[in-house]
Structure 1
Amino acid sequence: MTDLPQMTRGTYGHPRSFWEQGLRLDEYGVNAVFIHGASLDAQTVERARSGCRVFAEFATLNGKYGDYVAHHPE
């Protein structure tokens, strides 16, 4: 039998609203959080890591950096 890697099931956004309601992300099958980099702090990372992998999102190539994509189509 082949062991398959664990599927990543995440939420894109801060898990604060779950936590404020006393909910746990793993109760919903969530094992990863994708949080905007500016919203990360040590407390959030520590709490999220209690059952999730933490990914920081940073705005790149979203049109706010001039014509970068137009000049670098690769």
Structure 2
Amino acid sequence: MGKYIVNAKLRKVGAQVDTQTGIHHFLVDEPVAGGGTDAGPNPVQYLLSAVSSCMAITANDIVRRQP
């Protein structure tokens, strides 16, 4: 496992956050009802996406290792 560095910068618009990790840049925001502009997924959506992606990759690895 490598070293992960994540930088986050709060924008002046709603609840938007510019985020960078490695070469990847992405926007985090809240829905309008939560004080954001809904310009990107909210933190919970990113977290759930990360967990479900991890589970899918792990399941795929298990299937590929079956004889």
Q: TM-score, normalised by structure 2?
A: 0.30
Structure with more strand by fraction: 2
Structure with more helix by fraction: 2
Q: TM-score, normalised by structure 1?
A: 0.28
Task: Identify which of structures 1 and 2 has the higher relative contact order when contacts are C-alpha pairs closer than 8 Å and 6+ apart.
Answer: 1
